Amino acid sequence: REYILDMFEKLCGARLLYNYMWIGGVSHDLYDGFIEECMGFLDYFEPKIQEEYNPILTYNKIFVQRTANVGILPPETAIDYGVTGPCLRGSGVDWDLRRGNPYSIYNRFDFDVVIGKGEMGTVGDCWDRYNVRILEMVESIKIIRQALQQIPDGPVSHEKTGKSIKVPAGKVYARTEAPRGELGYYLISEGGKGPARLKARSPCFSNLSVINEIACGYMLADLIAIIGSLDIVLGCVDR
């Protein structure tokens, strides 16, 4: 994590709130050596998944006993509650916006959609949701490598916008595949300087709503694994 944050800080001067992506592009160019440094991190990080994370945690006997067959989320229930992201794929549902409804440049990338298979217990249990995230790190490495190789030479470009934007009257809904699931915004404009209505659809809000379905019948101590496997952020829940 520190390795990544160091690169972010060198790129945009911040370790948390980056303000790097602008409308139509990015705020400024990459620093010299960024691509090589990023590739170097990928080469450093990728082996750790197999050599450290899997033997120490993924297949650790105690970890498996605490997460397998616990907090089982059937695919039908996940869909009914609007669960998305790794929590949905952990239930065996093969759905990822980046492949199913590709936006931006995701149609250029070759990657696999990882789903839960009940390898250690039951499809949709805590272990499946955990393992989907582990395997998605491998897929993310593949995507990042392809993206770095496709960065064109030349100056950066972004739309020049004023301090305020007057949007024509209308409505639009846009969604992306965020780390915890689908993040969407429904925007209504009446032609003024600001939105008439803005609705944020956060993945954590929907993912957390399923807790009553998957927590009943287990020990109180199992809530640690169940809530952890949903990977919620309260700011995201609150929208």
Identify whether the C-beta of residue 117 lies closer than 8 Å to the C-beta of residue 90: no
**Does residue 110 register a pLDDT over 80?**
yes
pTM of the model: 0.91
Tell me: pLDDT of 163 over 80.
no
Q: Which of 23-32, 191-200, 218-227 has the lowest mean pLDDT?
A: 23-32
What DSSP line would sit under 41-96, residue for residue? HHHHHHHHIIIIIIIIIIT-HHHHHHHTTSS---HHHHHHTT--THHHHTTT----
Contact 87, 226 (CB under 8 A): no
pLDDT band at 159 (very low <50, low <70, confident <90, very high): low
Burial of 185 (0-12, 13-18, 19+ CB in 10 A): middle
Q: Are 37 and 30 in contact (CB under 8 A)?
A: no
Residue 157, pLDDT score: 72
DSSP 107: G
Residue 78, token pair as written in the block: 């996940």
Mean pLDDT of the 81-92 span: 98
pLDDT tier, 99 (very low <50, low <70, confident <90, very high otherwise): very high
Instruction: Name the β-bridge partners of 188.
Output: 171, 197
Q: Cα–chain-centroid distance for residue 61?
A: 28
| pLDDT (tens digit per residue) in 5-33 | 999 999 999 998 888 888 778 888 999 99
Lowest-confidence range among 36-45, 82-91, 158-167, 195-204?
A: 158-167
**Into which CATH architecture does domain 2-238 fall?**
Orthogonal Bundle (1.10)
According to the model, what pLDDT value does residue 58 have? Answer: 98
- Average pLDDT on 182-206 reads 94
Q: Where are the domains of the chain?
A: 2-238
pLDDT for the residue 166: 80
